[in-house]
């Protein structure tokens, strides 16, 4: 499995969580929505999707692609970066909504739902673009040696997260929560 395969596999985990999120939030019975599960999803998005996945792209992959002549501003890398930022903005509003809901502001439910569903749409399209356009572009632009260095980096990074949370907390969370909602 090379560095790009690792990123695609992370996309698969993120897409499963997106499916769970849509299943939870589109439930007809609002009183049935488990806020703990919504908070788990927000935690997953912030740590697994944003910290572990997006930072591999922003700090490693995009940097290497730029060195090989792929433009950042006005090009696909710039678009991907601004979509990461848009996702962070949605999640910040979701967190604000959760905090309000917890102090009894039940009207905040719509803020949570709208922003989390917008995040799901954004990320689904974003992942499609990366899988089908950006990553193939990276495979053409980067030398096998650079891909090999990235592969070792990504494998090491995933094995050295605090308390093995990459595998032990987040990949496990995807399995556990999808076994509840995606039958
Ligand atoms: Fe991305
Ligand atoms: Fe990605």
pLDDT in tens, 47-61: 999 999 999 999 999
The CA–CA distances, whole Å, from 171 to 10, 12, 22, 164, 175 equal 9, 11, 19, 10, 7
DSSP helix/strand/coil, 76:
helix
Whether residue 20 contacts residue 183, with contact meaning beta carbons closer than 8 Å, is answered with no
Instruction: Give ion ligand 1 contacts, CB < 5 A.
Output: 57, 80
pLDDT over 80 at 28, yes or no: no
Structure confidence by residue, pLDDT tens digits, 59-116: 999 999 999 999 888 889 999 999 999 999 999 999 999 999 999 998 999 999 999 9
Reported pTM: 0.95
Residues 137-151 have a mean pLDDT of 97
Residue 127 CA, ligand 1 centroid: distance in Å: 7
How remote is the CA of residue 104 from the centroid of ligand 1, in Å? 35
Share of the chain above pLDDT 70, in %: 100
Ligand 1 center–CA 155 separation, angstroms:
18
């Amino acid at each position: 499995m090379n560095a790009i395969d690792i990123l695609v596999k992370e996309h698969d985990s993120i897409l499963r969580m997106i499916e769970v999120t849509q299943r939870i939030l589109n439930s007809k019975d609002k009183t049935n929505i488990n806020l703990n599960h919504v908070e788990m999803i927000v935690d997953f998005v912030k740590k697994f999707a944003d910290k572990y996945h997006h930072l591999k792209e922003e700090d490693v992959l995009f940097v290497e692609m730029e060195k090989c002549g792929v433009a950042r501003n006005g090009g696909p890398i710039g678009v991907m970066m601004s979509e990461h930022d848009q996702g962070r903005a949605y999640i910040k509003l979701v967190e604000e909504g959760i905090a309000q809901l917890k102090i009894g502001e039940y009207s905040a439910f719509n803020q949570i739902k709208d922003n989390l569903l917008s995040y799901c749409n954004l990320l689904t399209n974003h992942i499609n673009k990366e899988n089908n356009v950006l990553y193939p572009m990276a495979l053409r632009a980067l030398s096998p040696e650079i891909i090999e260095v990235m592969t070792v980096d990504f494998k090491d990074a995933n094995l050295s997260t605090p308390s093995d949370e990459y595998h032990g907390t987040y990949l496990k969370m995807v399995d556990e929560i999808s076994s509840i909602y995606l039958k």
